[in-house]
Amino acid sequence: MAEATPPKHSARDVTTEGPVVRVVLIAIALAFAALVLILPLIVVFTEAFDGGLGTYFASLSQPDARSAIRLTLIVAAISVPANVVFGLAASWAIAKFEFWGKSFLTTLIDLPFSVSPVISGLVYVLLFGAQGIFGGWLDAHDIDIIFALPGIILATIFVTFPFVARELIPLMQEQGTEEEEAAVSLGASGWKTFLFVTLPNVKWALLYGVLLCNARAMGEFGAVSVVSGKIRGMTNTMPLQVEILYNEYNSTAAFALASLLALLALLTLALKTVLEWRFGDRITGANGH
């Protein structure tokens, strides 16, 4: 997907535009990218270092900031593996078997992508909030879900739900079932077949999915803000802490924390680009997705 054959430009080439048109289009594209994509990124780092390096590191070592970072890591460390397991199971079922209702199931898996993050949080409040369907029971048994870690994790799993599965399904479908069938006919167990035949074939796509899933899990704002309760030092994830600091006139500290998230985004992009360059054909099928 990343590297098509480079087009050959020459003065006589009838399948390209004149040099003036070309330069103008490139200028428009670069200007738009600079304005929409690059400038906001630069602002994050400029504002973060507004007070100098000392202020920057002091902001990041605040107890509330540290606990927000820790909470974000915990949430990602639980929700990403959960979605990896799901993604593998779903793609195994969908790609390796023919069954009734398969395309409907595939659509359902993509559903969380088209639901507003705010609704993703709202549904859990309606289920587990004190006024929700299970609220009374949970309260009687002293179980906290909303405004506590489980609620934040559930909301995060919801919004990152399709990421791994949708990378794996098209690739596994394209790879077909011959290799697995051969392994089974040679006497390998189902688990062995999965571990030694299927998994190596999809490992780069899996890593790609994990990368995207993780970026979203660590950065989710809307869904988490509905279920968090925003208790400083306890239920504030990094993006929520960014909002709180920002609303506290502490915009340097807000941008300092935001710069960590921006670094994570840049790292994600870099790894993703490397994966696409080196293993592009093994991440997506020939048709892309």
Partner 1 sequence: MTSVRRTSLLAAAALSVAAFVAPAAAQVTLLNVSYDPTRELYVDFNAAFAAHWQQTSGQTITINQSHGGSGSQARAVIDGLDVDVVTLALEADINAIVNNSGKIAADWRTRLPNNSAPYTSTIVFLVRQGNPKNILDWGDLVRDDVEVITPNPKTSGGARWNFLAAWAWANREFGGDEAQVTDYVREVYAHVPVLDTAARGSTTTFVERGIGDVLLAWENEAFLALEELDPGAFEIVVPSISILAEPPVAVVDGNVDRRGTREAAQAYLEYLYTPEGQEIAAANFYRPSNTGGLPAEALERFPALDLITIDDPLFGGWAEAQPRFFADGGVFDQIYQ
Partner 2 sequence: MTRAIFPALKRPSAIPGFGLALGFTLTYLSLIVLIPLAALVLRSAALGPAEFWQLVTSPRTLNALRVSFVCSLIAASINVVFGFVMAWVLVRYRFPGRRFVDAVVDLPFALPTAVAGIALTALYSRNGWIGSLIEPNGIRIAYTQAGIVVALTFIGLPFAVRTVQPVLEDIRRDLEEAAATLGASRAQTFLRVILPALVPAILTGFALALARAIGEYGSVIFIAGGRRDTEFAPLLIITRLEEFNYSAATAIGVAMLVISFIILLTINLIQAWSRRRFGSG
- Selected binder of partner 1 within 39, 42, 73, 263 (CB under 8 A): 73
Cα separation, 45 vs 29, in Å, equals: 24
Tell me whether residue 194 or residue 279 sits nearer to partner 2 (CB atom). Answer: 194
Q: Residue 62 or residue 224: which is nearer to partner 2 going by CB?
A: 224
Q: Does 232 bind partner 1 (CB under 8 A)?
A: yes
| Three-state DSSP class for residue 18 | coil
Residue pointed to by tokens 């790879």: 175
Least distance in angstroms from the C-beta of 63 to partner 2: 20
**Contacts with partner 2: how many residues (CB under 8 A)?**
109
Binding-site residue total for partner 1 (CB under 8 A)?
39
Residue 219 half-sphere exposure toward CB, CA atoms < 13 A = 16
Selection from 85, 213, 238 nearest residue 160 by Cα = 213
Contact 255, 47 (CB under 8 A): yes
Rounded to 10 degrees, what is the CA torsion of 247, 249, 251, 252? -140
The one segment of 57-65, 143-151, 200-208, 238-246 that binds partner 2 by CB under 8 A: 238-246
Residue 242 is a binding residue for partner 1 (CB under 8 A): no
C-beta closer to partner 1: residue 115 or 207: 207
By CB under 8 A, residue 173 contacts partner 2? no
d(C-alpha 12, C-alpha 7), whole Å: 13
Q: Is 167 in the site for partner 2 (CB under 8 A)?
A: no
* Phi, psi dihedrals of residue 287, rounded to the nearest 5°: -85, 0
Examine residue 78 and tell whether it contacts partner 2 (CB under 8 A).
no
Q: What residues contact 43, with CB distance under 8 A and at least 6 apart?
A: none
User: Among 51, 58, 60, 78, which residue sits at the site for partner 1 (rule: CB under 8 A)?
Assistant: 78
Shortest distance in whole angstroms from residue 116 CB to partner 1: 18
- Contact between 238 and 68 under an 8 Å Cβ cutoff? The reply is yes
User: Is residue 147 at the binding interface for partner 1, with CB under 8 A as the rule?
Assistant: yes
Minimum CB distance to partner 1, residue 33 (Å): 27
H/E run at residue 120? helix 117-128
SS3 category, 10: coil
* Candidate segments 54-62, 141-149, 200-208, 258-266, binder of partner 2 by CB under 8 A: 258-266
Nearer to partner 1, 27 or 199 (CB): 199
- Quick one: what does residue 177 bind among partner 1, partner 2, none, with the CB cut-off 5 to 8 Å set by partner type? partner 2
Nearby residues of 20 by Cβ (< 8 Å), 6 or more positions away: none
Q: What whole-number distance in Å separates Cα of residue 30 and Cα of residue 24? A: 10
* Chosen residue from 152, 171, 253, 258 binding partner 2 by CB under 8 A: 258
Choose from partner 1, partner 2, none: what does 71 bind? Cβ within 5-8 Å by kind: partner 1
Three-state secondary-structure class, residue 144: coil
Binding-site ranges for partner 1 (CB under 8 A): 70-71, 73-74, 77-78, 80-81, 84, 125, 128-131, 135, 138-139, 142, 144, 146-149, 203, 206-207, 210, 229-234, 244, 246-249, 251
